[in-house]
Every structure is written in structure tokens, then in C-alpha cells.
Amino acid sequence: MAADTESKLQQVHKHIRAFPDFPKKGIMFRDICPILKDPAALTAVIDLFEDHVRKNHLQVDLIVGLDARGFLFGPLLAQRLDVGFVLVRKKGKLPGNTVTVEYDLEYGKAEAEIQEDAVAPGQTILLIDDLLATGGTLYAACELMKKQQAEVLGCMVVIELKELNGRDKLKPHNVFSLVQY
């Protein structure tokens, strides 16, 4: 089983492209588009997430995906786990009553929101996104879950940029990442 896991991790890693100086000089952008283009690589990502969840979380009610790339992996994982999927969006993108939280970005502030009835008090959730950098967006999603009185079991990402210490911002929540740079 460990060899199979390592093989899948290698497949994911080889499908991540690096673009230096994007979107600005000094940034090394990690592109997940090749993963999405290759069915075997995408399956490997979902297999690895599913394996992690089944080994570490006995009861999951919902997968909560972050705008927008969490929407790519979250529904596939939710379907595998036979649980629902919920969206955390940028402010103004969801109809109906919403719950909002403001958070800091490197260059200013932003707001994230969830539909008021998307998560019930006491539900157990896992957050999913493509990338953990400084942790601001995932932290905001954790704060939204707190407002909804949901229990955050952990955060899952395809890529973690370790030098930016985003994991520290998310404590006490566990972070599971497939690939670290």
C-alpha cells in the first residue's frame, strides 16, 4: 500500500508546473492545471485525499470547498465519501442569506461567505483547497465554520508552500497536504 501511495504522490508531483515570476516578480507559481488535464493524475489526487479521510476521520458530514479551486477537488471527494459538498465563495457570489467573514490578504482585505443554511451546528466538516500559502483564505473558512457552529476536522490541500508558514495560522486545525515546497 505504501508503494501505491508513493507512486500516486509522484504522479501528482510531476503534474505540477512551476512558473517563475508569476503573477509578479519573485513569486514561483505552482500550476495544478496539468493535474486536471490528466485523468490518472486527478484520480491520484482524489485517491490520496480519500485514503487520508478514511484513515483519519470516522465521521465526516460535509466537504467544504474554497473558491475557486477547492471546487475542483471537493465535489469529487465528497462523492467518493458519499457526503455533501458546500461552497465558500468570495463575497457577493452566493444567493440568499449568507454568513460573511473578513480576512487579510498580502495586499489588502477580502471577504468570504457561505449560505446561512449550508452547514448546520454540530456538523463535522473538512475544508479543501488547492494551495496553502499564508493561510488567510483557509483561516477565513475556519472562522466561517466557527460562526456556523460546525466542527472543523481539518484542512486539506494539494500543495503547501511551507516557507510561508500558513499551517501556523490554522492552528489548532490539522493540515494535510499532498505536496510540499
Query: What is the 3 state secondary structure string of 41-102?
Result: HHHHHHHHHHHHHHHHCCCCCEEEEECCCHHHHHHHHHHHHCCEEEEEEECCCCCCCEEEEE
pLDDT of residue 1: 66
Distance CA(153)–CA(174), nearest Å, equals: 7
Residues spanned by the domain of 68: 2-180
Count how many domains the chain has. 1
pLDDT of residue 87: 98
142: CB partners within 8 A, 6+ apart: 127, 152, 155, 170, 173
CATH code for the domain of 23:
3.40.50.2020
pLDDT of residue 107: 72
What stretches in the chain show pLDDT beneath 70?
A: 1, 106
What count of Cα atoms within 13 Å lies in the side-chain half-sphere of residue 126? 29
Nearest to 89 by CA among 148, 121, 129, 32: 129
Q: Is the pTM of this model over 0.85?
A: yes
pLDDT of residue 174: 97
pLDDT of residue 33: 98
Distance CA(62)–CA(144), nearest Å, equals: 14
Active site residue 69: yes
Distance CA(158)–CA(161), nearest Å, equals: 10
Nearest to 73 by CA among 102, 47, 100: 47
> Residues 50-101: pLDDT tens digits?
999 999 999 999 999 999 999 999 999 999 999 999 999 999 999 999 999 9
R_g of the chain, CA atoms, integer Å: 16
DSSP summary character for residue 73: H
Distance CA(62)–CA(71), nearest Å, equals: 13
Looking up cell 485525499, which residue turns up? 49
Residue from 50, 69, 80, 111 carrying the catalytic annotation: 69
Q: 124 near 151, Cβ under 8 Å? A: yes
Residue from 30, 54, 106, 113 carrying the catalytic annotation: 106
Q: 45 near 12, Cβ under 8 Å? A: yes
